[in-house]
Amino acid sequence: MSKTAVVFFTLLLILASCFIAGCSSLPFSGSTPAPTETPNKIAAIATGEPTPDLAQRYNFEDILSTFNSPDVINEREVTSINESGQNVSAKKHIQYFRGADLDENGDAGSWTFIVEQGNRYSIITYSIRGATTTDTPGMIARPEIFTDQIVTPRGLFEKNHAVIFNTTRTGSAVTRDLSLSGGNYTLTISGKGMPRILVIDSRTGALISSND
């Protein structure tokens, strides 16, 4: 056998071995690129971008962390003059909020806020569709909610876990809606039969009343 034939036969064996060992699966220029990391969903929703996950839940504290960001809903921002005479974004004062379809951790499928900003009243909603703002007609007379003085929805669920997840009346398949106004949380738990309604002190997390 000639030297050329030996070299050719050797190369053929090497190529066959690579194929069997999976060399053909190595990435070449025409291969599909590896998936990139999923963007932060809270950041996306704060800037008005919808998120694709229909089962997504949003943590109340994460939403609050973006609430007064200058990047949130810029076209709706209201400005005011500060002590230095500068034109700045007016702070949002929360008067009411509601979470819909809460899970066992107190995270919601959507959060809706009524806010006052520079004598302008708006409804701000964070959901699967992104962040949206709608102006409200007239003035809404509600006391301001100071979020650093209340128990968070997650803390509320942890503190009242036994009563909230008592399924003897509502069954195991339920939906939970939570709202805060006037110093008290109202948690509505819907399942079989009449909805359960729990009223809970927003500062202490203590149960005030229920229709159980």
Query: Where along the chain do its domains lie?
Result: 41-69+92-210
Q: Which residues of 62-82 are buried (b: 16+ CB within 10 A; e: fewer)?
A: bbbebbeeeebbeebbeeeee
Tell me the average pLDDT across 92-116. 94
Tell me the average pLDDT across 118-133. 86
Residue 97 pLDDT greater than 50, yes or no: yes
- What pLDDT shows up at residue 137? 72
Encode pLDDT of 12-36 as tens digits: 444 444 443 443 333 323 333 333 3
Choice between 6 and 83, residue whose per-residue pLDDT is larger: 83
What is the SS3 assignment for 10? Answer: helix
Residue 49 pLDDT greater than 80, yes or no: no
Residue 185 pLDDT greater than 90, yes or no: yes
Tell me the average pLDDT across 87-94. 72
CA distances from 23 to 8, 15, 28, 66 (A): 20, 9, 11, 48
**189 bridge partner residues:** 176, 196
Convert 45-99 into a string of H (helix), E (strand) and C (coil): HHCCCCCCCCCCCECHHHHHHHHCCCCCCHHHCCEEECCCCCEEECCCEEEEEEE
Alpha helices in the chain (DSSP H): 3-21, 41-46, 60-67, 153-159, 161-164
Encode pLDDT of 126-176 as tens digits: 998 888 888 877 666 788 999 999 999 999 999 999 999 987 766 677 899
- What pLDDT shows up at residue 83? 56
Choice between 124 and 34, residue whose per-residue pLDDT is larger: 124
Distance CA 20, CA 178 (A): 59
Residue 38 pLDDT greater than 80, yes or no: no
The residue written with tokens 């009242």 in the block is 160
